[in-house]
């Protein structure tokens, strides 16, 4: 990555983080069958909980590291599924990267919300 691309990623990563959080919140609001609590304790952390009878049965935690920049995610389930989302400059834009593959926002949100529905075991 060139210095110019690195500067672009550093500059735009924060807005991509906010875009991701808004998309996850929107997708969570459309999930049915349970009560959902969303905690945003700091600007770099987001937690969504699936609650049944007052007990959190599923939890999704996202944390943004602006120094790298990357988003670490954790699905609190028996397997403690986790991963990272990084950013790359591509054709003048900053895009999401999972593993070595560029992913669109909807694909990422789909996987993350599966944590709350129990489809990620």
pLDDT, one tens digit per residue, over 92-119 is 899 999 998 999 999 999 989 888 887 7
Q: Under a CB-based contact definition with an 8 Å cutoff, are residues 77 and 85 in contact?
A: no
Residue pair 16/96 in contact (Cβ under 8 Å)? The answer is yes
For residue 114 the two structure tokens come to: 């599966």
The pLDDT value given to residue 33? 63
In angstroms, rounded to a whole number, what is the distance separating the alpha carbons of residues 43 and 74?
Answer: 17
List domains and CATH numbers for the chain: 3-79+101-117 (3.30.310)
Please give the angle made by the CA atoms of 20, 90 and 4, to the nearest 5 degrees.
Answer: 105
Q: Is the pLDDT of residue 121 over 60?
A: no
Whether pTM > 0.85 for this model: the answer is: yes
What 3-state DSSP class applies to 16? helix
Q: What digits encode the pLDDT tens for the residues 7-40?
A: 999 999 999 999 999 999 888 888 776 676 777 7
Specify burial of residue 104 (Cβ count, 10 A radius: 0-12, 13-18, 19+). Answer: exposed
């Amino acid at each position: 990555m060139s210095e110019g691309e690195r500067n672009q990623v550093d500059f735009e990563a924060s807005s991509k983080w906010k875009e991701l959080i808004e998309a996850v919140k929107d997708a969570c609001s459309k999930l049915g069958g349970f009560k959902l609590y969303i905690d945003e304790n700091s600007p770099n952390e987001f937690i969504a909980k699936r609650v049944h009878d007052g007990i959190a049965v599923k939890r999704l935690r996202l944390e943004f590291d602006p120094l790298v920049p990357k988003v670490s995610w954790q699905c609190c389930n028996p397997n403690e599924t986790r991963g990272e989302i990084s950013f790359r400059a591509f054709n003048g834009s900053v895009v999401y990267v999972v593993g070595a593959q560029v992913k669109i926002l909807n694909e990422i949100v789909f996987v993350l919300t599966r944590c709350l529905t129990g489809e990620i075991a």
